Every structure is written in structure tokens, then in C-alpha cells.
Chains A and B, each alone.
Chain A
Amino acid sequence: MPVSTSSSRLIYDSLKAAGVRLMSALPETWLVHLIRMAEEDPEVQLIRLAKEEEGVGISAGAHLAGVRSAMLMQNHGFLASVNGIVSCAQLYRIPLLMLISHRGEFGERDPWQTEGGGVTTHVLDALRIPHALLDSPDHVAKRIQKAQTLAHSASRPVALLLARDLMWEE
């Protein structure tokens, strides 16, 4: 499976450098290494979800309890979480760092990913969620740190879209 181990390691280390100690996740191909790293790291609590929206509630609870968290999910998981994002994280001004694998973009071979790929950034825009693309190792560390800074200063959700160029080696 050509998911980039080095990019996953870079993302994981950057999340930890940004203070993240709890990660909620629902497995998806591009996230396999990240989830395994969280699982093997005694300093991080990994919470495997049944559905991504739960992660919004878990992150909100963790934030109020003083723990920094991140959500790892596919863009379809983001789409499944929209009500939680709006009526928990946005309504209650919760800083929420979302790492979303941006499936369905150029190069996508799975037909079932393509509709979600086309709407993800539009839905993020409609929700007024600031977002940036992680598509090169060069800016991963900085963008994750900056996203975390904005999430906390604005007390709002922010999203980083994991791009194929970063996550997939072919």
C-alpha cells in the first residue's frame, strides 16, 4: 500500500509538536500509518470511532477538560460530521483541529470517492471553516502549527486537507 510513511511521520510529529495529546479517528486508507503511530504512542490517547461526528463531541469535551486534540478522518467523514461541527463546535466556540484526507481529487481511481471530493472545499467554505491544503512535506509542520494557533485564537474549527501528492506514493 503506497501510503507515504515519511509524510505520515511528519504529520504525526507536527501534531504532537502542536500539543495534540488526543486523536480521534475512523480508519481510511491514507490514514493507516497515522492511526498506527497514535496507537503505539503512550503519550497520545487514540479514540477509534464508530462514526466521525462522535469525534466532535469527544474533542469538545477534551478541550473543556484542558487537553488538545485532533480529528483524523476522510472527507466523507467530515461530511457526516457537519451537524456536530455546526451545533457543537461552532455554537460553543470550540477550537477543533480537523485533518481531512481529501479523496476524490485529481488522480482518484475509486469512483465512489469522486462526489465527496468535489464538494468538500465548498462545504468548508459554506461553514466558514478556514482551510489549507497539505500537499508537500515542505510546509506540513508550519501549516499544522499555524492551523492550531488559529483554531485557538479564533476558538473555532479549522481544517487541513491531506492531498494525494503528500499521502500517496506512486
Chain B
Amino acid sequence: MKAIYPQMEQHVVVTIMGAVAAELQSIGHRPNFFYLQHAMGLASSMGLGIALSRPELTVIVLDGDGSLLMNLGGLTTLARYRPKNLVHVVFDNESLLSVGGFPTATSTGSDLAAMAAAAGVPRTETVVTLDEFQRAFNDATGAKDLSTIVAKVEAVGPSGYVTDLSLLENRYQFQRYLRDKQQPLSK
């Protein structure tokens, strides 16, 4: 995540709960980052809502294998509307880490990138190394088309998941960021 942080700083980021949210906050929270701390599966749907509402912005969704498995149908909706300004990253640690590390179906062979491709997502890739991930992410943000990147990662995370950023503080700060982007204060 550190590898792509410099680019995420410039874009709108929507994450899932758990390790992804906690780690991104530990690297550095920004007002253009929103962490959906529950409602598993809906981070990609929120990203779609933002991307279609604000085509001038680039939206990065940081998803996980457990979350995406709860909203596989959402892949077909993403592909159907194919927002050119959305990059869908799936950190696949093959487990539900924050609730005890129980293995998900990707640990027994379910292939999320293949599912995204079969759903109609035009650009899909599975990456294993950090270099590959960084290259795939750069390609995706430059491609101006919907991409799903599945990044295979180790099932390690922080010791706790509650941070000192309250959910509603994050929500209103993020909304204000998007509003100010729309109506710049400078004349």
C-alpha cells in the first residue's frame, strides 16, 4: 500500500474495513480517503456511485477477497457501466483476517480476476510481487478504463482495527472534500 500511496494521495479512495482501512490510516489519513467500516461488499458499489456521479475524478477502490465474495454480482454492475475513472484493487489474502483468519474460497482456487474478466471488466490482472503490483497500478490509473487488479498478499495485519478517526468525522470530511473539488473556492 505504501508503494501506491503517492498516487492515491491525488485521487479519491474508498476502502473496505479491517486491515486495509487500518493500514492506510497508519500510513497517513487524508480527507480524500473514505473507509467503509462495515457493510461488507459495498465499497465497490460506493466507488461506482462516486465514479459515475463525478467522471472528472479518479476513484480507487481498495477491496478484499472476503468483501468481494460477498458482492460478486456487483462485478457485473461495475462492468456493465464500465466507469473509465475507476481502479478496483482487491487485496487477496485468501482469508477473513480480521475475524480470525478463516480461509476464503480464494484459498481453494476461486480466481477473482478471472471472475471480474468473465463479468466483463475490460482490464483484469493478478499480481504477486510488489513490483508487479506497482506496475499494474500505474498502468491501470493511466489506462482510462475500468480495471480490476487482484494483488495476492500475505495474511498479516495490524494488532487492532479501531482507529481514532471516527466514522462520521471521516464521512463528513470526505463529503466536504468532494464538494470543494466540485466548486473550487478560488475565483
Binding site for B on A (CB under 8 A): 22, 45, 47-51, 53-67, 69, 83-84, 87-88, 91-93
Contact = CB atoms under 8 A, between A and B. Distances in A.
B63 to A, nearest CB: 12
Interface string B35-70: 011110111111111111110000000000000000
Top 3 A-B pairs, shortest CB-CB distance: A61-B49, A57-B45, A50-B73
Counting chain B residues whose Cβ lies within 8 A of the other chain, the interface size class is 35 or more
Given A56-B45, A66-B179, A84-B39, A61 B14 contact: yes
A50 B46 contact: no
B53 A48 contact: no
Given A65-B54, A66-B182, A56 B167 contact: no
Contact of A58 (B49, B174, B175): B49
A92 B167 contact: yes
B179 A88 contact: no
A45 B52 contact: yes
A42 to B, nearest CB: 14
Interface string B6-50: 000000001000000000000000000010111101111111111
Nearest to A67: B53
Consensus secondary structure, chain B interface: helix
Contacts of A67: 49, 53
Nearest to B14: A61
Interface of B: 14, 34, 36-39, 41-54, 71, 73-74, 76-77, 80-81, 167-168, 171, 174-175, 178-179, 182
13 contacts: A22-B53, A48-B80, A50-B73, A51-B73, A53-B45, A53-B71, A54-B71, A57-B42, A60-B46, A63-B175, A67-B53, A91-B167, A93-B171
Contacts of B179: 66
Given A53-B45, A67-B49, A84-B39, 8 more contacts: A51-B71, A51-B73, A53-B41, A57-B41, A58-B45, A58-B48, A61-B45, A61-B53
Contacts of B54: 65-66
A56 B45 CA distance: 8
A60 B50 CA distance: 8
A50 B74 contact: yes
A65 B42 CA distance: 16
